[in-house]
Amino acid sequence: MDKIAIFKMMLEKDKENYEAWFLLAEEYRQRDSLADALFAYAKALEKNDPKMREMVIRGLRALTEGGNKQETAEGQADVHGLEPEQAVSLEDITQGSCEDIGAVILPSAEMQLSREDEGLNKDKEESKKAKIRVLEGGKKHNVVSIGDYLPERVTFADVGGLHELKKTIEMKIIKPFQSPGLFSKFQKKSGGGILLYGPPGCGKTFIAQAMAGEVGANFFPVHISEILNPYFGVSEKNLHHIFETARASRPAVLFFDEIDTLGYSRLKSGSDLMRSLVDTLLTEMQSINMNTDKLLVIGATNMPWDVDPALKRPGRFDKMIFVPPPDKEARKRIFQLKLGKRPVAGLVDLEVLAEKTVHYSGADIENIVELAAERVIDSIMETGVERGITMADLLEVIAETKPSTLEWISIVKNYVKYANQSGLYNEVADYIRKYL
């Protein structure tokens, strides 16, 4: 999503989010949109904060260095529609000769925007005189609605089964968000870092989204493609901007899927580029530890042993939560959802299906339904007789498949046995003793 659109969404939710106004101004400045940048800088100054004032001055100084430094006050007056005696150059502002920055740049920006609107209206009038019919496009207005971009809210009510996992998450994560008074009394802040790990296809992303829904926080999923860049230093800058956006829209949940790719162990990595990216992530996580209130960072991985050890220490991803394969109740729910919109013939016993798919992940169950549907389609094409998915089709596919989680469990057994001195994999060890 475009950064400007994201900042506008944040400001639609809270017009007094001065940090978002400043970030919006910076983005406009980088795109050489002078009037919009000046207007956003002026709104950021309403915070009356010395630090914010210094940041705005630095931004305005960057504007002068970008080509406006030699512009005269009379030239500024001509561009922004002011009288020469009213004009103040950008150089005067950045050097501190103007006492009230906002009083200067806000009227200038508003005048420039007003003149742009007048130009659009003039073009409309000319088109009417020429008797040209202007067809209105599909976009009715320029207001960005946050509801158009926010995903549907997911809560634990949408997650079938996994009651022990929900209880663990509720005590470690959700309660501090919902009862900040009690936890602050014991110097416990809501937020911080949490690492979800487990076999692939078991719903770690869905669990993270449900966590955000339970605490009523903004959910920011981060993909590795949004961070990595072939140019030196750009990946680190992208990562910093992501954290800044999340901090400016708290309460927020920042979710990194496949965190082992971004935070790969520096002891195993031979890439200097990835090493600097891990260092940046460590710095950002440490700064979050200093300001954890209402900001939660969640990482998900199938290979926690490949995550850099410094990320797993207290103060960063200090809580590790094992997401096991779905239990019996969850498997029944998954079968019900996946079969719900497909034609089904006869009685399908969800209880039997759940009993025969022990250790199957959610992705494995979805694959079973897909394969059964393919069998039915092949049958219809051969015989010409339409029918739905039957219990027999599903049982035949189950008999021919194996759960994909067994391979992961066989690997993690070695780490439980030989590399669990710190107790990181105790939850996995309990699961293996109970079900295997």
User: What per-residue confidence (pLDDT) applies to 73?
Assistant: 41
Backbone angles phi, psi at 219, to 5 degrees: -110, 120
Same domain, 161 and 281: yes
Same domain, 50 and 127: yes
Q: Which of 174, 415, 205, 405 is nearest to 301 (CA)?
A: 205
Q: What is the dihedral of CA 12, 180, 220, 9, to 10 degrees?
A: 0
Its pTM stands at 0.62
Same domain, 375 and 262: no
Same domain, 176 and 247: yes
Same domain, 315 and 332: no
In this structure, what token pair is assigned to residue 71?
A: 């512009």
Maximum C-alpha span of the chain: 89
Q: Residue 389 maps to which CATH number?
A: 1.10.8.60
Same domain, 202 and 318: yes
Return d(Cα 424, Cα 321) in angstroms, integer. 9
Domain stops at, among 322, 342, 377: 322
Same domain, 311 and 339: no
Q: Residue 198 maps to which CATH number?
A: 3.40.50.300
Q: Which of 38, 44, 45 is nearest to 112 (CA)?
A: 38
In this structure, what token pair is assigned to residue 72?
A: 């005269």
Rg (CA), the chain: 28
Same domain, 316 and 339: no
In this structure, what token pair is assigned to residue 338?
A: 């996946």
Domain stops at, among 99, 118, 147: 147
CA angle 13, 15, 18 (to 5 degrees): 115
Return d(Cα 363, Cα 112) in angstroms, integer. 55
Q: 262-295: buried (b, 16+ CB within 10 Å) or exposed (e) per residue?
A: bbbbbeeeeeeebeebbebbbebbeebbeebebb
Same domain, 318 and 333: no
Confirm whether 169 is domain-assigned: yes
Domain stops at, among 119, 147, 175: 147
Same domain, 308 and 370: no
φ/ψ region of 307 (left if φ > 0, alpha if ψ in -120 to 50, else beta) reads beta
For 88, residues 6+ apart whose C-beta sits below 8 A from its C-beta are 73, 76, 97, 98, 104
pLDDT tens-digit profile, the chain (436 residues): 577 888 887 888 778 888 888 888 888 888 888 878 888 888 888 877 888 888 888 888 777 666 444 444 444 444 444 444 444 455 555 454 444 555 555 555 555 555 545 555 555 555 444 444 544 544 444 444 444 444 567 777 777 777 777 887 777 777 777 776 766 666 666 667 888 999 998 888 888 888 878 877 788 888 888 888 888 888 889 988 888 888 888 778 888 988 988 888 887 777 777 788 888 888 887 765 455 567 788 899 999 999 988 888 877 887 888 989 998 998 999 999 899 889 999 899 999 999 999 999 999 999 999 999 999 999 999 999 999 999 999 999 999 999 999 999 999 999 998 988 888 889 999 989 888 7
Confirm whether 422 is domain-assigned: no
Confirm whether 246 is domain-assigned: yes
**Sign of the CA dihedral with 339 first, then 343, 348, and 353 last:** negative
Token pair 């809210």 is at which residue? 153
User: What per-residue confidence (pLDDT) applies to 130?
Assistant: 46
User: What per-residue confidence (pLDDT) applies to 344?
Assistant: 93
Same domain, 215 and 301: yes
Return d(Cα 2, Cα 12) in angstroms, integer. 16
Return d(Cα 336, Cα 365) in angstroms, integer. 11
Q: How many residues does this entry show for the chain?
A: 436
Confirm whether 414 is domain-assigned: no
Confirm whether 62 is domain-assigned: yes
Same domain, 306 and 341: no
Confirm whether 345 is domain-assigned: yes
Confirm whether 307 is domain-assigned: yes
Return d(Cα 336, Cα 32) in angstroms, integer. 53
Token pair 């049982």 is at which residue? 395
Confirm whether 418 is domain-assigned: no
DSSP 249-287: T-SEEEEEETHHHHTB-TTT---HHHHHHHHHHHHHHHH
In this structure, what token pair is assigned to residue 230?
A: 């072939």
Domain that holds residue 303: 156-322
In this structure, what token pair is assigned to residue 313?
A: 């220490």
* Number of folded domains that form the chain: 3
Half-sphere exposure of 248 (CA within 13 A, CB side): 25
DSSP 102-128: HHHHHHHHHHHHHHHHHHHHHHHHHHH
